Structure 1
Amino acid sequence: MRLTTTLVFSLLPIAVLAGRSSDTSHIRARHAAHAASLHARDDAGYNGTTSGGNPPYNIHEHYQGQSFFNDWSFFEGDDPTHGSVNYQSRDQAIAKKLAYVKDNVTVLTVDSTSTVPVGGKRDSVRLTSKKTWDRGLFIADFAYMPHGCSIWPAYWSVGPNWPMAGEIDILEGVHNQQTNQYTLHTGGPCSLPADGSGIDAIGSLIWHGCQSQPTDNRGCGFLDSDTRSYGAGFNSAGGGVLAHEWNSQGVKIWFFPRAEVPADINSDHPNPTSWGRPIAAWSSKFCDFSSVLYQHSLIIDITLCGDWAGPAYSGSGCPGTCAQAIADPANFAAAKWGINYISVFQS
């Protein structure tokens, strides 16, 4: 199923974006072609307890190094967000060095050597975890991330039959965006207070309606204020850790720059109760998460232009057009994910 009438935030300076919460001028059809996989649980691998008498988080999956590609599927179809990319199979991606491991860092990248015609497509990758989850604590440690003109990278999770099982956008932006945007999309009713009251998050609320509508798919999102949370600033800081906790109380997301990663994360004994207020939070006070989020896979991709980055290009400060940016391989030197690891914990 492909959606073509949903809407999105256009990329604007923070002050402008905050003032245009009712703007529905740009189209963003999120990944409706996602194929559902069988839900799997694995109770093996106990790895300690959290402090303070809280129920323990047990290691469920750990993705790192050479084994990373065994546990994720390479998406090979047309980009559901209409980006100008040719997603590569595992064999193609490895042969073209778009997916490889260097110094135990898993690298995913866009072709940065070929010149393509204006209006053409560039080779890229999109990976989906083979397992799915209904809740848990998810910790992703990135050494660096893609950014630049025409580039739309995302680390996110999604369930089957989009948008009915929901979507959580954990690390996402376009072009040379300064800070990260965190967004929740649901198929069922879900809305945060428009005035931000009762929301336990330090990020700026940029829209309150989470439910995807035929004419509005902005989702309910938060904007970070830390320039180390995205793009060039993220990479200059040595990367960092994105942690999101999904349980019966709702969903919370934390961002930790490299120099501020909690010791309990580095020791594989994560204790979210010690991390302070999250950047983004969606409480079960406002949404029935048992019905709007389920069977989520993790996804990492790099698309170009498409339903968000395309319309946002004219306001990005990038030269020429989005199609012209894609044609020039020099624009993609920094279009790389460097993944130290992704771990999934269950309680």
Structure 2
Amino acid sequence: MYLSAALLALPFAALAVSGRSLDSRRLADHNKRFHRRSSYSLVDFHQGDSFFDGFDFYSDADPTNGMVNYLSQEDATNANLAHVQSDGTTVLAVDNADDLSEGEYRNSVRIQSKNSYSKGLIIADIYAMPHGCSVWPALWLVGPDWPNNGEIDILEGVNEYQYNQYTLHTSDGCTLDESPTSSTVNETTGKIQAFAANILGTTCASSGSSNAGCGFSDPYTTSYGHGFNMIAGGVFATLIDDSGVSIWRFERGSIPSDIDAQTPDPSSWGVPMAFWSSSTCDVDQYFKDMSIVINTTLCGDWAGSAFSSTCSGTCSAAVANSTNFDYAQWKLNYVAVYQ
């Protein structure tokens, strides 16, 4: 669920891709991503007053060693950390009312979908996400017996980072293909690309002692934290099919009309931010029965070790200060799953 500090130190330079002018026939050929289908059926839709019906609340100790008390649904509701606003927006928050003694754990929320998925199209429309010193939010998919059935991190970062990270964690043998044959023409640049984000790592195999995974860094500050919230968020769409795993991100003002109409057509969406080809990481082998997880932990294995890169003082002191969590809230429009 995180990338190593060494990888995070890499510069967020523009991704170098090959490209040249294309005639109309070649452009059409490259725009046909072989894994995409034009018709998807809605199988699960979580929004508004029924949002929590499709999720369980996790209340055990944080497996990433965060300084949080994950609350049950009853306790989270009573503390107003999990609720639905009058406009239908679902809120998942970290406690920002109580100052703590340094070393105490702060109340937070982690939810996990009741249904699980091996393939499909998962679309999350998010108005705002948590950020702040010590804060580690994530929207992710994870299978049982980690990492043997896979993990896909869709939206994740720590502290006051500005760039979202997209990451896979798997058992041995899965790698990121840096030059996959499946590619799309970028309509803005005219270049042929398989993905638009910057590669951070290519070895997806993960364990307790080596948990960087294979991932990408989004090149835009509107992808995470404050920058994301200032544009009222947007949509993340994750497609898992025979060709691999693709993730698109759309800013609030650029969400495709077919997504809003619940008739999603990935073939019309252009270059994804992240793409892991099945040529070097077979989906059927590495990803099974994954649940959708949304959580906010504090400090822990990643936010704690990376704390000094964007924040001052200590991570445990930040957890004690309630004002650090005024923006530690998820505000969700919906989560939809298509097959």
TM-score band, normalised by the shorter chain? 0.7 to 0.9
- Deviation per residue, 1:197-246 (Å, 9 max, x gap): 23711100010001114642211100001111100000001110000000
* Mapped partners of 1:225, 1:217: distance in 2: 22
Deviations 1:261-282 (A, max 9, x none): 1111111110000000100000
- Aligned identity (percent) is 46
Q: Report what 2:27 is aligned to.
A: none
Deviation of 1:11 after TM superposition, in Å, equals: 8.0
Equivalence for 1:277: 271
Q: 1:254 aligns with which of 248, 258, 275?
A: 248
String of CA shifts for 1:163-206, please: whole Å, max 9, x gaps. 0000000000001111100000111311124xx32371110001
User: 1:129 & 1:13 partners in 2: Cα distance?
Assistant: 30
Indicate the residue corresponding to 1:323 in structure 2: 316
Instruction: Note the aligned Cα RMSD (angstroms).
Output: 1.8
In structure 2, the partner of 1:203 is 197
Q: How many equivalent pairs are there?
A: 304
Q: Is the alpha carbon distance of 1:12 and 1:175 closer, same or farther for their aligned partners in structure 2, counting shifts above 3 Å?
A: farther
**Residue identity opposite 2:245 in structure 1:** V
Do residues 10 (structure 1) and 5 (structure 2) align?
A: yes
1:47 aligns with none
Distance 1:8 1:202 in 2: 19
Question: With structure 2 as the length reference, what TM-score do the two structures score?
Answer: 0.86
CA distance in 2, matches of 1:118, 1:59: 46
In the TM superposition, 1:142-291 aligns within 5 A as 142-193=126-177, 196-198=178-180, 200-213=194-207, 215-291=209-285
Q: 1:278-308: per-residue Cα shift (whole Å, max 9, x none)?
A: 0000011111211110000000000000000
Secondary structure of the equivalent of 1:131?
strand
The whole-number CA distance in structure 1 between the counterparts of 2:266 and 2:78 is 40
SS, match of residue 301 in structure 2: helix
| Structure 1 unaligned blocks of 5 or more | 1-5, 19-52
Question: Gaps spanning 5+ residues in structure 2: where?
Answer: 14-35, 182-193
The one-letter code sitting in structure 1 at the alignment partner of 2:91 is V
Could you say what secondary structure the match of 1:232 adopts? helix
Contact 1:11 1:312 in 2 (8 A): no
Q: Distance in 1 between matches of 2:307 and 2:228?
A: 21
Q: TM-score, normalised by structure 1?
A: 0.84
Aligned residue number for residue 48 of structure 2: 65
The 2-side partners of 1:226 and 1:180 are apart by 8
- After the TM superposition, which residues 72-87 of structure 1 pair with which residues of structure 2 at under 5 Å, given as runs? 72-87=55-70
CA distance in 2, matches of 1:260, 1:184: 26
Deviation at 1:94, TM superposition (A): 0.3
Of the candidates 108, 116, 119, which is equivalent to residue 92 of structure 2?
108
Distance 1:210 1:12, change over 3 A: closer
CA distance in 2, matches of 1:93, 1:289: 35
Partner Cα distance (2:5, 2:197) in 1: 18
Match 1:92 to one of 42, 52, 75: 75
